[in-house]
Amino acid sequence: MEKNILDQLAKELYQADTSCQPITALTERYPAITNEQAYQIQLAGLSLRQADGHRVVGRKIGLTSKAMQQALGVFEPDYGYITDRMMVLEGDPIDLSTLIAPKIEAELAFVLKADLSGPGVTVAQVLQATEGVMPAIEIIDTRIKDWKIKIQDTIADGASIGRVLLSGKLTPVTAVDLRYMGLVLEKNGEVAATAAGAAVLGHPANAVAWLANKLAAYDIALKAGDIIMSGSLTAACPIGAGDSIKATFDHIGSVGLMVKR
């Protein structure tokens, strides 16, 4: 695919985001599109956002749990970026009119205190470089009609990023074994899913190490102060008007959101 086509697809995705009008899947129009080309579209889309004043505050990792990988028939995570305009405050209700087809995922957010640059980053190095972890909810969304996506579509679309909500509590990684940390995800007061940290590539820090090593191919490093969303512990959960969501993580606290009616 020529660069002008990749750039045009990036513009279409950005316009779909700002207008909340989804588009036909890229893979439907260009079946031969590769993952590498999809990441080029993602980078072009980031450039468009930065030109409009968005500031990168972190990265997100997607498709880290078996449930999410099976949903798309893939065996490797993907990644995207987080900008300041994607962050929402706990207590502020989510307005569905600003999104297209949102779903929620309960995740751990790593807050880095040191840079991480691959290749060869290990779990131990991730933990050493981490200031702490926070309970988090990612609202994933898609600019593709009806979530009819393949891996290339979600990569191009920023790994289906929507919004990110962090709790106000930062816990040192030395205070908890993230592999065995339990999660209870509740929707409208009822248990929607349960999981443990090991659902994310065996250890959530494995996902951060994977990201640092993957980005090395583009000479991109994770930076001190970055927020890294390490991926969902469960399958994504749909949300609708008036819904209340709460994610409780063993030892590190909880985070919740309300959806406007």
Digitized pLDDT (tens) for each residue of the chain, 261 residues in all: 899 999 999 999 999 999 999 999 999 999 999 999 999 999 999 999 999 999 999 999 998 877 667 777 777 899 999 999 999 999 899 999 999 999 999 999 999 999 999 999 999 999 999 999 999 999 999 999 999 999 999 999 999 999 999 998 999 999 999 999 999 999 999 999 999 999 999 999 999 999 999 999 889 999 999 999 999 999 899 999 999 999 999 999 999 999 998
Note the pLDDT of residue 145: 97
Q: What CATH number is given to the structural domain containing 209?
A: 3.90.850.10
Number of domains composing the chain = 1
Note the pLDDT of residue 67: 67
Residue numbers of the domain that contains 238:
3-258
Question: How many helical (H) and strand (E) elements, i.e. helices and strands, does the chain have?
Answer: 7, 12
**Phi and psi, residue 184, nearest 5°:** -125, 120
Q: Which two tokens stand for residue 42?
A: 């993602």
Note the pLDDT of residue 65: 75
Strands 87-88 and 163-166: parallel
- Cα–chain-centroid distance for residue 161? 6
Neighbouring-strand partners of residue 186: 191, 246
Is residue 47 helix, strand or coil? helix
The rounded distance, in Å, linking the Cα atoms of 47 and 246 is 34
Note the pLDDT of residue 225: 97
